[in-house]
């Protein structure tokens, strides 16, 4: 494994996530003592809305003013994740044009390779259908029924089928539950709103004990209170946590580049805060970030930027957990104006 930091220019060099070194096999991951591996699943063959999410992994990886720099200290918690974690990019799962089942098998095997290499997989989609094979691979590694999912989304993705097909970006959570890979009680959903699903699907969700937090609850009680409930549920529902982030959980004002935007969602700040807290306070064994559609993004790729920052928050939270910063909603006192904090060390010293 070779690190090339000859240039920190965002448009220069190989477009890996944060200019991380490339690993190609589980043996590479183990040889490099890699803690977290970012991989892509550039598939949008089962999206019902606007296409283009196959371009999501590339957009999330490319173009960031901090790419290639090790000075990425999170200013809220004063932790640089690269001081505590070894990060690599594992490339992309192979997509088979016109072959959904074969592509899903490839994604499942791809994520399994990352896990076999001892790393936490963070998978960049792609449409939300990729969560079925990706989360199944994590359940394969940790035990079916042992993994819970916190699922951020405007939509439940629990449809019985999509025009007769079991594969689709509106069905993956149902497939995971019906397969036994992840029990319904191990699902915590956050941010659902709009006009779908219909009553029969909601009844199925209730019968299978999904814990669902609609935007109506968030509007009434505040996101902070609802996130506390979600954290508690994630802790009691399973031995291990997988995070699935559909960027359309955010209001289209913050994430316009997605196939099925739904007004009335979370802010980008709320999404990032929630991801970091889950990674730090609960800990995660896998994650996906899906439904970024670059052709429909606006401005300086603001949806891809949100997705990229969500991955960085997950990395920061994972690093916080490693060094013991697991108290609820930890913030460094120097960043909140409330005084000095514990000694903070980076690779450059205090």
pLDDT in tens, 301-323: 999 999 999 999 999 999 999 99
Check: CB of residue 306 under 8 Å from CB of residue 341: no
Q: What is the per-residue pLDDT for 340? A: 61
Taking CA atoms, 22 is separated from 4, 172, 243, 299, in Å, by 10, 29, 23, 29
Q: What is the per-residue pLDDT for 163? A: 54
pLDDT tens for each residue of 55-65? 999 999 986 76
Query: Does residue 284 sit in helix, strand or coil?
Result: coil
pLDDT > 80? residue 144: yes
Q: Report d(CA 194, CA 215) in Å as an integer.
A: 9
Check: CB of residue 152 under 8 Å from CB of residue 274: yes
Q: Is 77 exposed, middle or buried (0-12, 13-18, 19+ CB in 10 A)?
A: buried
The set of long-range contacts for 227-232, using a CB threshold of 8 Å and a minimum separation of 24, is: 227/190, 227/273, 227/274, 227/277, 228/328, 230/150, 230/188, 230/190, 230/274, 230/278, 231/277, 231/278, 231/281, 231/282, 231/328
Q: Report d(CA 248, CA 157) in Å as an integer.
A: 12
Q: What is the CA radius of gyration of the chain?
A: 19
Q: Does domain 30-336 have CATH number 3.40.800.10?
A: yes
> What are the structure tokens assigned to 73, written together?
């200290």
pLDDT tens for each residue of 268-284? 999 999 999 999 999 99
Mean pLDDT of the chain, nearest integer: 90
Q: Report d(CA 191, CA 248) in Å as an integer.
A: 9
pLDDT tens for each residue of 88-142? 999 999 999 989 999 999 999 999 999 999 999 999 999 999 999 999 999 999 9
From 102, 31, 130, 85, select the one nearest 314 (Cα to Cα): 85
The length of the chain, given as a count of residues: 350
Taking CA atoms, 18 is separated from 11, 13, 114, 168, 257, in Å, by 12, 11, 18, 30, 21
> What are the structure tokens assigned to 269, written together?
């700040």
Count of other CB atoms within 10 angstroms of residue 13: 15
Ranges of each domain in the chain: 30-336
Place of tokens 């998978």: 123
From 220, 161, 202, 211, select the one nearest 182 (Cα to Cα): 211
Q: Report d(CA 38, CA 15) in Å as an integer.
A: 12
Q: Is 48 exposed, middle or buried (0-12, 13-18, 19+ CB in 10 A)?
A: middle
């Amino acid at each position: 494994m070779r690190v090339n930091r000859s240039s920190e220019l965002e448009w220069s060099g190989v477009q890996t996530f944060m200019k991380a070194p490339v690993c190609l096999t589980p043996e590479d991951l183990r040889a490099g003592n890699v803690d977290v591996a970012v991989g892509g699943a550039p598939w949008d063959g089962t999206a019902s809305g606007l296409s283009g999410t196959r371009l999501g992994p590339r957009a999330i990886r490319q173009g960031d003013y901090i790419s290639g720099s090790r000075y990425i200290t999170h200013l809220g918690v004063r932790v640089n994740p690269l001081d505590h974690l070894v990060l690599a990019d594992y490339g992309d799962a192979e997509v088979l044009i016109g072959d959904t089942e074969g592509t899903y098998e490839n994604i499942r095997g791809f994520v399994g390779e990352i896990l076999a290499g001892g790393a936490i997989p963070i998978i960049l989609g792609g449409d939300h259908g990729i969560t079925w094979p990706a989360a199944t691979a994590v359940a394969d590694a940790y035990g079916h029924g042992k993994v819970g999912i916190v699922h951020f989304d405007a939509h439940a993705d629990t449809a019985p089928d999509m025009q007769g097909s079991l594969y689709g970006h509106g069905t993956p959570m149902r497939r995971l539950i019906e397969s036994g890979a992840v029990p319904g009680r191990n699902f915590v959903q956050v941010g659902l709103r709009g006009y779908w699903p219909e009553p029969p699907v909601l009844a199925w969700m209730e019968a299978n004990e999904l814990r669902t937090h609609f935007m109506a609850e968030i509007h009434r009680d505040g996101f902070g209170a609802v996130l506390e409930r979600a954290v508690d549920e994630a802790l009691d529902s399973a031995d291990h946590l997988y995070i699935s982030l559909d960027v359309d959980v955010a209001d289209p004002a913050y994430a316009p580049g997605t196939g099925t935007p739904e007004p009335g969602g979370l802010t980008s700040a709320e999404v990032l805060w929630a991801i970091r807290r889950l990674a730090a306070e609960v800990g995660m064994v896998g994650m996906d970030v899906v439904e970024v559609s670059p052709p429909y993004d606006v401005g300086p790729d603001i949806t891809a930027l949100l997705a990229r920052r969500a991955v960085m928050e997950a990395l920061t939270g994972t690093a916080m957990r490693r060094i013991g910063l697991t108290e609820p909603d930890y913030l460094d006192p120097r960043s909140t104006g409330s005084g000095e904090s514990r000694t903070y060390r980076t690779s450059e010293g205090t």
